[in-house]
Structure 1
């Protein structure tokens, strides 16, 4: 059995920044990263590579799992703000969080990330407020799906000079007391021991972390889930926002129910993609830097927030169930429906989709979202689209495309003290999978902080 000083479970941005911080400041420290998915060059999605139009349910989803995490194939939005992107300010001072975000950005720039920033725009914020829409503001960088991939590749290659990286390695168990990690890799079963252990499992591993916490008596808190659609429309409709701030991040309180609906994850001239999370297919969006990969459409997430109360404790399973209904109705895929058809109470069929003036960028199955999504959430989405239409006329057009289902799981947060799990000695959690963050920048900042904490304790 091999001994390490630090074992990091998960090779996403949070785990990578933890490894980077430790290996840069203590090169002799023995660090290992255990990643369930493939090495970055081995991550190949048949849909992205145009080998198929539909998800073929790969054993490991190349979009969601593998080195660099789900962020590897995101459009690379980097938020430089504490206003949104996570909940680190519940644990650290805002100035500390912002400093860590800037530090992580300097690391990414070292490995090729651009330095251009979109700045807040009070004129657009005022326009939104005039229509009871609330735009959150931040300095923001758009790395681009393609450029972000290259930045992460260089970062990983640098880390690998001092850190052992085991890919295609599934962690089966972590000993709470003896710190023995048991896993299954390409060569079969393996075991190792580490003085410090960091769970950096990302959204795809949140279920695993929650199960481990329950099995080891660690309290979990989570009562929120966002369920909705991915909206696709002609890019020119939102150009007046995207050219100035890149991402319009807007929330709206519905008049019918008083619920909050959020517009975010905007992808200018991008494409809609499928994601596979433990067998459930959902949708997301990408946007590339290179001009030849841009499309005529932009897309964004539009999700309705639900906060459950006692006795319900499984919001993630609720969202997965809604998404799985879409998979069932579509015959194992995801659905797409024109807004006009949804409002008219009819399904979009192949003929209607073929007549749409908005051409879909994803080969989804035309259908009826009302058969799989709760009425309350659909009502919120339709009302919000018409509210957004007041600041970006054309948003609520008949041919605006709605793909479903899109979900954002807010991972169950384990009880912790300064990111160390309560009742555990030298076991920590970071990032989206632990419910502390929900963005690249905040997950990276979280990783740097825990890396530095381990160095101080070591």
Structure 2
């Protein structure tokens, strides 16, 4: 029979939840810790579309790509940004120097659990050379170094972490969906699952991830925890022959490029560069969106990356997640999943057909994508920004604005509303902590991991 009472409950087994538990153990706390995860463990995180290429999404109760041990990052290509300028807003809570120190500390933990000792970055010579090219193209260049795990190594590291936690007495329950946070006298007392089970704890940490950001925001509103609207990022996954982007990927790998478009002055940015990788689909609670991976064990002939248009809404609108979901729904309605279009067809005002796609120099790596017309899905403002960004990129990577460049839609980053927390990431509800991407505080693996460290130390300070 399952226990009903713990010292600490961790909601979500993504990097924030994992690093909270790891740090609590490292502090030799002796605490009784329970991790609740709606998905499955790594061995059971198998996507039917990956097992049977060319098939459509079957709407699993919990998407294996974005839910389960390791969170959405388990099947990403494992880029750990070592720069405090990339991956979230933690600097606003703990300060820049503390963030730099904690990134280094978290990086050592990844190494301890099997991360490969390889760092990609930009040399000073290449940094200056590329900055000059970027400036001439009116692009803002943010250089960064990163540790690249690759999808294969990501899963090895995450499995090692799970084994370590279990060996040290942490209980992990999979397939458990938390539905409610139970409060008494402005203090967290318990959580209630979808099955109606109530589990009590002295401390609760909620790191629901992007997929459950909407749930976490609603719970925060029920508890009268203030929220601030974060931008919503909507765009496409770009795919082209790796030879086209070699100058950029070989020298920069994952550094960011930001462009403010001439027509609408909107911010468009590159995201998640996947050299020699593949385009993949993800199921976000029934919505099929697109992403990209680079693997440690095999390479394709293509490179893919996201182009995302950032929009911050103002009063009276409070539902950026709903806005992003509705655009994704339209793509799903027209394509039955992910839609793909050649850039040349988009510019010519015609849909891509199967025959036109087969003539493309770029062979699509996502075989289940449906040829179609992105102009029927994306708002004119977003589509204009993406086209203008591709023109600017073509000045530093000639060929990216070619007619056979493929655009997959849509890619949406469902950032939660930013929840009001103290500098130690505790909410106004005593002993209730929130962190990671789902709380709107971080936007990447490394800062999500660091937020777990911050929460664990905050809990220990309160106990001591």
Report deviation, 1:49: 3.2
Report deviation, 1:40: 1.4
Partner Cα distance (1:318, 1:172) in 2: 23
Cα deviation per residue 1:351-386 (whole Å; 9 max; x = unaligned)? 111111100001200000000110010000001101
Q: Which moved more, 1:267-276 or 1:119-128?
A: 119-128
Report deviation, 1:37: 0.5
Report deviation, 1:223: 4.1
State the secondary structure of the residue aligned to 2:383.
helix
Partner Cα distance (2:449, 2:424) in 1: 14
| Correspondence list, 1:267-278, <5 A | 267-278=274-285
Q: Which moved more, 1:43-52 or 1:426-435?
A: 43-52
Aligned equivalent of 1:286: 293
- The CA RMSD measured in Å over matched residues stands at 1.3
Aligned equivalent of 1:146: 152
Q: Which of 205, 208, 227 is the matching residue for 1:198?
A: 205
Q: Which of 79, 87, 90 is the matching residue for 1:85?
A: 87
Q: Which of 440, 453, 456 is the matching residue for 2:458?
A: 453
Is 1:126 aligned to residue 135 of structure 2? no
Structure 2 unpaired stretches of 5+: none
State the secondary structure of the residue aligned to 2:438.
helix
Is 1:429 aligned to residue 434 of structure 2? yes
Q: Which of 358, 373, 379 is the matching residue for 2:362?
A: 358
Aligned equivalent of 2:259: 252
Q: Which moved more, 1:433-442 or 1:47-56?
A: 47-56
Q: Which moved more, 1:125-134 or 1:267-276?
A: 125-134
Cα deviation per residue 1:201-247 (whole Å; 9 max; x = unaligned)? 11111111011111121111114111110000000111112112212
Report deviation, 1:189: 4.4
Q: Which of 219, 223, 234 is the matching residue for 2:226?
A: 219
The normalised TM-score by structure 1 is: 0.96
Partner Cα distance (1:52, 1:23) in 2: 44
Report deviation, 1:53: 3.4
Aligned equivalent of 2:31: 29
Q: Which of 6, 18, 21 is the matching residue for 1:19?
A: 21
Report deviation, 1:420: 4.1
Aligned equivalent of 2:338: 334
Structure 1 unpaired stretches of 5+: none
Report deviation, 1:24: 2.0
The normalised TM-score by structure 2 is: 0.95
Q: How many equivalent pairs are there? A: 452
Partner Cα distance (2:12, 2:66) in 1: 12
Partner Cα distance (2:149, 2:230) in 1: 32
Q: Which of 62, 65, 71 is the matching residue for 2:64?
A: 62
Judge conservation of contact 1:23–1:31 (CA < 8 Å) in 2.
no
Partner Cα distance (1:252, 1:172) in 2: 40
| Correspondence list, 1:325-404, <5 A | 325-330=330-335, 332-362=336-366, 363-404=368-409
Deviating above 4 A after TM superposition, structure 1's stretches of 4 or more consecutive aligned residues are none
Partner Cα distance (2:199, 2:230) in 1: 35
Report deviation, 1:193: 0.7
Report deviation, 1:284: 0.3
Q: Which moved more, 1:96-105 or 1:46-55?
A: 46-55
